[in-house]
Amino acid sequence: MRTYNVGIVGATGAVGQEILKVLAERKFPLKGLRLCATARSAGKEIVFEGEKFTVEETKATSFDGIDIALFAGGTASTEFADPARKSGAVVIDNSSAFRLHPEVPLVVPEVNPDDVRWHKGIIANPNCSTIIMVVPLKPIYDAVGIKRVVVSTYQAVSGAGAAGIEELCAQARAILDGAEYAPAVFAYQIAFNLIPHIDVFLEEDYTKEEWKMVKETRKIFHDEDLRITATTVRVPVFRSHSESINVETEKSISPAEVRKLLSGFPGIEVVDDPAAKRYPMPVEATDRDEILVGRIRQDNTLENGINMFVASDQIRKGAATNAVQIAELITEYGLV
- Of residues 152 and 161, more confidence is placed in 152
Predicted confidence at residue 140, as pLDDT, reads 98
- Residues 128 and 78: their CA atoms lie apart, in Å, by 19
Residue type, 275: A
Cβ–Cβ < 8 Å for 272, 261: no
For residue range 101-140, what is the model confidence (pLDDT) as tens digits?
A: 999 999 999 999 999 999 999 999 999 999 999 999 999 9
Predicted confidence at residue 74, as pLDDT, reads 87
Predicted confidence at residue 155, as pLDDT, reads 98
Residue type, 242: S
The CB density around residue 8, as the number of other CB atoms within 10 Å, is 30
- Residues 308 and 247: their CA atoms lie apart, in Å, by 8
Q: Tell me the mean pLDDT in the region 284-295.
A: 98
Q: CATH topology for 4-126+319-332?
A: Rossmann fold (3.40.50)
Percentages helix, strand, coil for the chain (3-state, rounded to 5) are: 35, 25, 40
For residue range 191-242, what is the model confidence (pLDDT) as tens digits?
A: 999 999 999 999 999 999 999 999 999 999 999 999 999 999 999 999 999 9
> How large a percentage of the chain has pLDDT more than 70?
100
**Catalytic hit among 36, 119, 128, 222:** 128
Cβ–Cβ < 8 Å for 30, 8: no
* Residue 1 pLDDT class (50, 70, 90 cuts): confident
- Residues 187 and 195: their CA atoms lie apart, in Å, by 8
Give the relative orientation of helices 208-221 and 128-144 as an angle to the nearest 10 degrees.
40
Predicted confidence at residue 269, as pLDDT, reads 98
How far lies 289's CA from each of 15, 63, 312, 317, in Å? 14, 29, 7, 5
Cβ–Cβ < 8 Å for 328, 22: no
CATH of domain 130-314: 3.30.360.10
For the chain, which residues make up each domain, given as ranges?
A: 4-126+319-332, 130-314
Mean of all residue pLDDT scores within the chain: 97
For residue range 154-204, what is the model confidence (pLDDT) as tens digits?
A: 999 999 998 999 999 999 999 999 999 999 999 999 999 999 999 999 999
241 is catalytic: yes
How far lies 208's CA from each of 3, 94, 125, 212, 262, in Å? 39, 16, 16, 6, 29
